Amino acid sequence: MGHHATSLTESILLVIGVSILVVVLFQRLRVPAIVGFILTGALIGPFGFRLVGEAEAIQLLAEMGVVLLLFSLGVEFSIDKLIQMRHYVIRAGVAQVLGTVALCALGSGILGFSLVQSLALGMIISLSSTAVGIKLLKGRAELDSTHGRFAVGVLLFQDVMAPIFMAVLPMLSRLEAEGASVLFVKVPLTVGGVLVVYFLAQAVIPTLLRWMMASDTREVPVLGSIFIALLMSYITQSLGLSPALGAFVAGVIISETPYSHQITANIVPFRDSFLALFFISVGMLINLPYVQANALSVAGWTLGVMTLKTLVVMGIAYAIRRPFRVGLLGGVVLANIGEFSFVLMSQARSLNLLPEDLLNGLVAGTSLSILLTPLLLAGGYQLLLRIAGRPAPTHRHARHNNEALKDHIIIVGFGLNGRNLANLLKEIGTPFVVVELNGALVREAQKMKILVVYGDAAQPEVLEAAGIEQARTVVFAMSDPISTRYAVKTARERNPTVYIIARTRYVSEIEPLYSVGATDVIPEEFETFIEIAGRVMRLLGVENEKRLELMNQCRARHYQMLQETKEGIYTN
């Protein structure tokens, strides 16, 4: 017993120590930590240097990471967010998952896999990495961009489908062994079991949470949150269902209570720690000799799958009338195979659903796809810049529909800023037209009797329909920095003398916007600072006249500095 405990301690110390070194190295190389954890497992596992002797114990701890991952996913699950992004979640999300599953299953069937194996492969490949996608978009401040909302909407739907896929995989294994009749028995039992567990948990968990959160001891809520996740996992496993599904159900119930944010904060450190062990345990299963012998084929099918997923997303973007850049950037963000796919692979391995060699290739290929995503996204931006840099076509487009408009203002974007500006222009009697890509906002503008053009302002035809050649001013009130940059460039090309005002969130976007033709750029980041400084001076008792003078001086110095740069060639 003592030797076993010592061996386990040594294994855990080794796993944590090596993973810290590898992840720190990968962070400096700007490589996702997931890849570092998997590489750690491959190096110390049975196919590497064979440094870990307690692989089964590590696997057990890793399963807790999966349970906590699904639990936290349920806690962070937001019906309101799904409703808010329903256009992308429902249309793009459903189409992406079903389309990818169908195409991958078809391709697998052609290669000789059974129907059950083909469906399992399709489900594994259809999911993308939420962690990597969100991190890349957040790092570029593009979560609120058009392609960012598109990608996040699809990722939200994938997160909903992940626990469903985990419940379906055991059915697929039984389907292969017992035939299609099992579906008529297993599906109703599974649905019924989940509903029973849900309603029982809904009656018990809120009461249990109130009791735990009332405790003056911090440890009780923390341990209680983990206890609820593991208990629900145990109950669903006892009923023959996926343990991760039970944890997800518990999380969804908690998400409807006032304690959801605190519980998320309680479990995140534990979740991330155990999840790191899960990815390390996945890496320990990689057969390095197999990967070495089949490196070219693994790389080839990985690039093929990433290309397929990108094309599927681009096709969906085209079908729902989104610009090419939205489909391309969204497709690259979603091209990888995600962390939930590792969970499905582990499940498929335990169910003997897929051949071992195929699983080895899947694990290696999935890691490679995550590694390639940042590189391919950078390539996507370069491609778009080259396309945007091409000279504008010299032929005339179709005449715009608003020929009566002249010396008017074009408002691009009918969000909060655009709507307030439109109301102001109506009050002072200035003619204007709105350009908006969001169908719901277009309908809202129409209800307000506002002249509106549906479309992407980066397209010359759309701006021509808004009367760009006769316009006095164009105001870009959108929050998408990429779209704003393209649209400003298009507006400047179509009307070299028009006054262009562009809104941006960040100071770092000012010079790029000036460089493509903006006349004035209003950075919310800097204007927020000015307002904060003004409030602080008022609290300090600075006289109004002096306060306004200092604020105006600060603003003038900032904008004068920008106007003196070579990018500010259109500033007045």
C-alpha atoms less than 13 angstroms from C-alpha of 366 in its C-beta half-sphere: 29
**pLDDT for 53:** 65
- Give percent of the chain above pLDDT 90: 20
Q: Which CATH superfamily is domain 409-563 in?
A: NAD(P)-binding Rossmann-like Domain (3.40.50.720)
Question: CA-to-CA distance for 385 and 252, rounded, in angstroms?
Answer: 42
**pLDDT for 394:** 37
Task: Name the least confident of 175-184, 281-290, 525-534.
Answer: 175-184
Lateral strand order in the sheet of 499-504: 452-454, 432-436, 409-412, 473-476, 499-504, 520-523
DSSP state of 353: -
And the tokens for 549?
Answer: 């003078």
Contact 509, 523 (CB under 8 A): yes
pLDDT in tens, 449-473: 899 998 888 888 889 889 999 999 9
Domain with CATH 1.20.1530.20 in the chain: 42-385
3 pLDDT higher than 70: no
**pLDDT for 393:** 42
Contact 306, 336 (CB under 8 A): yes
Three-state secondary structure string covering 450-501? CCEEECCCCCHHHHHHCCHHHCCEEEECCCCHHHHHHHHHHHHHHCCCCEEE
**pLDDT for 397:** 38
322 pLDDT higher than 70: yes
- Residue with structure tokens 């999380």? 251
DSSP state of 508: G
Phi, psi of 180 (to 5 degrees): -65, -20
DSSP reduced 3-state for 520: strand
Q: What integer is the mean pLDDT of 42-68?
A: 76
The mean of the pLDDT values for the chain is 81
**pLDDT for 177:** 63
Q: Residue 411 is inside which H or E element, if any?
A: strand 409-412
Question: What's the whole-model pTM score?
Answer: 0.71
Contact 295, 118 (CB under 8 A): no
Phi, psi of 498 (to 5 degrees): -70, 145
Angular region, 31: left φ>0, alpha ψ -120 to 50, beta rest: beta
Quickly state the pLDDT bin for 565 (edges 50, 70, 90): very low
Residue 222's nearest CA partner among 77, 63, 16, 68 is 68
Contact 122, 105 (CB under 8 A): yes
pLDDT in tens, 356-402: 889 888 988 988 888 888 889 888 888 877 775 554 443 333 344 45
Contact 221, 266 (CB under 8 A): yes
Task: Name the least confident of 174-178, 411-415, 492-496.
Answer: 174-178
Q: What integer is the mean pLDDT of 268-286?
A: 79
408 pLDDT higher than 90: yes
And the tokens for 100?
Answer: 């990818």
Decide which of 139 and 473 is more confident. Answer: 473
**pLDDT for 185:** 64
Decide which of 259 and 4 is more confident. Answer: 259
Bridge partner residues of 474 (DSSP): 410, 500
Bridge partner residues of 520 (DSSP): 501
Residue 278's nearest CA partner among 66, 15, 26, 20 is 66
208 pLDDT higher than 90: no
Domain with CATH 3.40.50.720 in the chain: 409-563
DSSP reduced 3-state for 391: coil
C-alpha atoms less than 13 angstroms from C-alpha of 125 in its C-beta half-sphere: 33
Quickly state the pLDDT bin for 118 (edges 50, 70, 90): very high
**How distant, in Å, are the alpha carbons of 131, 135, 481 from that of 139?**
12, 6, 13
- Give percent of the chain above pLDDT 70: 87
Task: Please name the residue ranges forming H helices in 111-259.
Answer: 115-126, 130-139, 146-178, 181-213, 219-238, 243-255
**pLDDT for 377:** 87
Q: Which CATH class is domain 42-385?
A: mainly alpha
334, amino acid identity: L
Task: Name the least confident of 273-287, 350-364, 551-565.
Answer: 551-565
pLDDT in tens, 303-321: 999 999 999 999 999 998 8
Relative orientation angle of helices 260-284 and 55-75, to the nearest 10 degrees: 150
Question: CA-to-CA distance for 9 and 54, rounded, in angstroms?
Answer: 9
Contact 176, 227 (CB under 8 A): no
Question: CA-to-CA distance for 474 and 461, rounded, in angstroms?
Answer: 15
